[in-house]
Amino acid sequence: MTILQVENLTKHYVTSGGYFDGRGETIVALDDVSFDVRRGESIGIVGESGSGKSTLSRIILGLERPDSGRIVFDGTDLSTLSKRELRAICARIQVVFQDPYASLNPRMSVRDLIAEPMEIHRDILGMSNAQITDRVAELLTLVRMEEDHMHRYPHEFSGGQRQRIGIARALACKPQLIVLDEPTSALDVSVQAQVLSLLIGLQDELNLTYLFISHDLAVVRYLCQSAILIRKGKLVENAPIESLFDAPESDYGRMLIGAMPDIDPDRSPFRLKSEA
């Protein structure tokens, strides 16, 4: 069953021109991008810097409006909604950002950070402060942290712990779709693995759908059932993960997969020519 449909999404940015000529340059961030996401699935969105993958996530999160095309979430077209209705949808689509240091307000305690989405959507959830605090404790346990941690501040935690606070915050309103914007790329490799396995565990437990934005193909392969490749705003490939890795259809896909370092040293792209 489809939870998210992205149809013919296009977004241009116009850079501000100089004082004298007044004309800006047009940058195509997204060009006619369409794909579907099934409920309970993880889809990887892979592209290099500047490919438009961040723009895509910002549009899905409602932070920006597309120039044309539409996003259908669970049967409702987001562009037809009023501001109030769109706010209600925000509770069901949540995000975990790449940088766990910058995405948590340093002046807020962990309790307030995780409680924030519940306070914002209090009109929908109808929770009292005590219920919110209980839910924060529950969420902290869910992301394998301790209830006591709720009285501390973000700077007292490591990167992996902060990212788990970010995940707890994203889970607070029981969302259906979570946009993971390179959630592990700022972390150590060992911590990455912990966070990834936590994400997989949560997905099974809570029946979540992940939109996993990354430039790390190995991580995408580990977490996702299918992936789309974006380059210069265009969707170049949309395939199940195994067929993407076994037989990429696009040149870009072949290039990306060819560039992946292999565990087998004989097949590594970094091997010396003489050894080949």
Partner 1 sequence: MSEVVQSTGSAATRSARRTNWARGFYRFRQNPLSVVGLVIVVLLLLLALFGEYIAPYPEHLNGELNVANRFQPPSAEFWFGTNEVGQDIFSLVLAGARISLLSGIAVIVVATLIGTFIGVIAGYFGSWLDEVLMRFTDLVLTLPALILAMAIAAGLGPSIPNMILALALAWWPGFARMARGEVLSTKAELYVLAAKAQGGGNTRILTRHILPNITSPIIVKMSLDVGFAILAVASLGFIGIGVRPPTPEWGVMLSVSRSNLPHFWWTAIFPGMAIFLSVLSFNFMGDGLRDVFDPRARR
Q: Which residues bind partner 1 (CB under 8 A)?
A: 61-63, 86-88, 90-91, 94-95, 97, 99, 102-109, 111, 116-117, 120-121, 147-148, 150-153, 155-156, 169
Q: How far is the CB of 62 from partner 1 (least distance, A)?
A: 7
The residues near 10 (Cβ < 8 Å, ≥ 6 apart) are: 28, 30, 31, 32, 33, 66, 67, 68, 69
Shortest Å distance, C-beta 98 to partner 1:
8
The whole-angstrom separation of Cα 53 and Cα 80 is 23
- Residue of 2, 8, 167, 131 lying closest to 79 (CA atoms): 8
Cβ at position 249, least distance to partner 1 in Å: 33
- Give min distance, CB of 209 to partner 1, in A: 16
88 versus 247: smaller Cβ distance to partner 1: 88
Inter-CA distances, 68 with 37, 59, 79, 171, Å: 20, 11, 10, 30
* Gap between the Cα atoms of 224 and 210, Å rounded: 8
Q: Where are the beta strands (DSSP E) in the chain?
A: 2-14, 26-38, 42-46, 68-73, 76-77, 93-96, 177-181, 209-214, 226-231, 234-240
Helix (H) or strand (E) holding 164: helix 159-171
State which residue, 120 or 142, has the beta carbon closest to partner 1: 120
Nearer to partner 1, 11 or 111 (CB): 111
Q: Could you give the CA distance from residue 47 to residue 236 in angstroms, rounded to a whole number?
A: 10
Give whichever of 19 and 270 is closer to partner 1, judged by the CB atom.
Answer: 19
Least Cβ distance, residue 111 to partner 1 (angstroms): 6
Closer Cβ to partner 1, 63 or 255, answer by number: 63
Q: How far is the CB of 172 from partner 1 (least distance, A)?
A: 9
Nearer to partner 1, 107 or 273 (CB): 107
Residue 20 tokens read as 């004298």
